[in-house]
C-alpha cells in the first residue's frame, strides 16, 4: 500500500520481514516519516555503521513513496551526518560521532535565515547551470574546477580559508554554461552564496569542522565528476543534492540554537 498523498501515512502492508520498518500512521510529511524510519534503523543498529542502505528503487518499493521523497530523506540524513552517499556506489551509514552540524549562536539566526533564502534561489539556478556545464564544459574549464577543489582540500588541511575556493568552484560552473547571465547573477551574489560566510558559528572542535568541510568538498567532487563525464542529469542531481544538504545542515543548526 502506498502512502496517502494527503500525508495521512497509512501504514503500508508488509511482510514480517518489513514489519519493523513500516512507516507510522501519523499525519506528517512523507519525507519526515521516511527520515524517522531510517533513523530508527540506524539507532537500533539494524543498519550498522559502514553498512549500505537499500537502493533508491528498493526504498521506493518498500515504503510506497516517490523517488523525490527518498532523495529528500537521504539529504536530511546526510545533513545530520548519519549517512554518506558515494557516487556510483550507494549510500552508507556513517560511523558514530561523524555528525557535521553547524552550530549557531542565537544572534546568528537572522543571518542564517537570509542564507536559507539564498540557498533556495541557488537550488533552482545552479541545478540547471550544472546540467548546462556538463554539456558545454571544455578541458581547460574543467581543470580550473579541479584546481579549486584541490585548493579547498589543502585549505582544510592547513586550517585556512575555504570560502574562496568554494566560491571559485561554483563560479567556474557558471562560466562553463557559456551563458553570461548565470555568471552575472552569481557574481552579484558573491560570497553571500556560501552559508558559512553569513553566520558566525560557535566554536567547533577542529577535527569535526574539518570533517564537515571535507564532506562539503566530496559533494563538490561528485558534481565535477558528473560534469567531466558530460552527464547532464547526474550533474543536476549532484548539484541539487549538494545545495539541499547545505540547506538542511543550516536548518538543523537553526533548530539546535533555539
Strands (E), the chain: 83-86, 90-93
27: three-class secondary structure by DSSP: strand
Q: Which helix (H) or strand (E) holds 236?
A: helix 232-257
Specify whether 132 is located in the same domain as 198. yes
Asked if 235 contacts 226 with a C-beta cutoff of 8 angstroms, the reply is yes
Specify whether 35 is located in the same domain as 132. no
Q: What is the pTM of this model?
A: 0.64
Specify whether 165 is located in the same domain as 219. yes
Segments forming the whole domain that contains residue 79: 19-93
> What are 2-19's pLDDT values in tens digits?
443 433 333 333 333 333
Whether residue 100 lies inside any domain: the answer is no
Res 148: pLDDT? 97
Asked if 136 contacts 177 with a C-beta cutoff of 8 angstroms, the reply is yes
The residue count of the chain comes to 258
Res 146: pLDDT? 97
Question: What grid cell was written down for 100?
Answer: 557535521
Specify whether 72 is located in the same domain as 196. no
Question: What grid cell was written down for 110?
Answer: 537572522
> What are 169-191's pLDDT values in tens digits?
999 999 999 999 999 999 998 88
**Over 80: is that where the pLDDT of 26 sits?**
no
Greater pLDDT, 121 or 75: 121
Asked if 31 contacts 76 with a C-beta cutoff of 8 angstroms, the reply is yes
Say which range, 40-54, 110-124, 149-163, has the weakest mean pLDDT.
Answer: 110-124
Specify whether 135 is located in the same domain as 225. yes
Whether residue 11 lies inside any domain: the answer is no
Give the count of domains, the chain.
2
Asked if 77 contacts 93 with a C-beta cutoff of 8 angstroms, the reply is no
Greater pLDDT, 235 or 251: 235
193: three-class secondary structure by DSSP: helix
> What are 225-245's pLDDT values in tens digits?
999 999 999 999 999 989 988
What's the DSSP call for residue 204? -
The CATH number assigned to the domain holding 224 equals 1.20.120.530
> What are 135-144's pLDDT values in tens digits?
999 999 999 9
Whether residue 200 lies inside any domain: the answer is yes
Specify whether 56 is located in the same domain as 184. no
Specify whether 116 is located in the same domain as 240. yes
Whether residue 8 lies inside any domain: the answer is no
Asked if 243 contacts 129 with a C-beta cutoff of 8 angstroms, the reply is no
Amino acid at each position: 500500500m502506498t502512502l496517502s498523498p494527503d500525508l495521512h501515512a497509512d501504514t503500508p502492508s508488509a511482510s514480517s520481514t518489513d514489519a519493523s520498518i513500516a512507516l507510522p500512521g501519523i499525519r506528517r510529511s512523507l519525507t519526515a516519516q521516511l527520515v524517522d524510519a531510517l533513523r530508527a534503523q540506524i539507532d537500533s543498529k539494524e543498519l550498522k555503521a559502514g553498512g549500505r542502505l537499500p537502493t533508491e528503487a528498493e526504498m521506493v518499493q518498500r515504503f510506497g513513496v516517490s523517488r523525490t521523497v527518498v532523495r529528500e530523506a537521504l539529504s536530511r540524513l546526510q545533513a545530520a551526518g548519519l549517512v554518506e552517499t558515494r557516487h556510483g556506489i550507494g549510500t552508507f551509514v556513517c560511523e558514530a560521532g561523524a555528525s557535521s552540524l553547524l552550530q549557531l549562536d542565537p544572534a546568528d539566526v537572522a543571518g542564517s535565515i537570509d542564507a536559507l533564502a539564498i540557498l533556495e534561489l541557488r537550488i533552482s539556478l545552479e541545478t540547471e547551470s550544472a546540467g548546462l556545464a556538463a554539456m558545454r564544459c571544455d578541458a581547460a574549464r574543467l581543470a580550473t574546477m579541479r584546481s579549486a577543489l584541490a585548493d579547498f582540500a589543502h585549505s582544510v588541511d592547513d586550517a585556512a580559508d575555504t570560502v574562496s575556493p568554494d566560491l571559485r568552484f561554483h563560479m567556474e560552473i557558471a562560466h562553463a554554461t557559456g551563458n553570461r547571465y548565470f555568471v552575472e547573477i552569481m557574481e552579484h551574489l558573491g560570497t553571500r552564496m556560501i552559508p558559512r560566510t553569513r553566520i558566525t558559528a560557535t566554536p567547533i572542535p577542529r577535527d569535526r569542522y574539518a570533517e564537515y568541510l571535507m564532506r562539503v568538498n566530496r559533494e563538490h567532487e561528485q558534481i565535477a565528476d558528473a560534469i567531466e563525464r558530460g552527464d547532464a542529469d547526474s550533474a543536476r542531481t549532484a548539484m541539487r543534492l549538494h545545495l539541499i544538504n547545505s540547506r538542511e545542515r543550516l536548518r538543523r543548526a537553526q533548530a539546535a540554537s533555539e
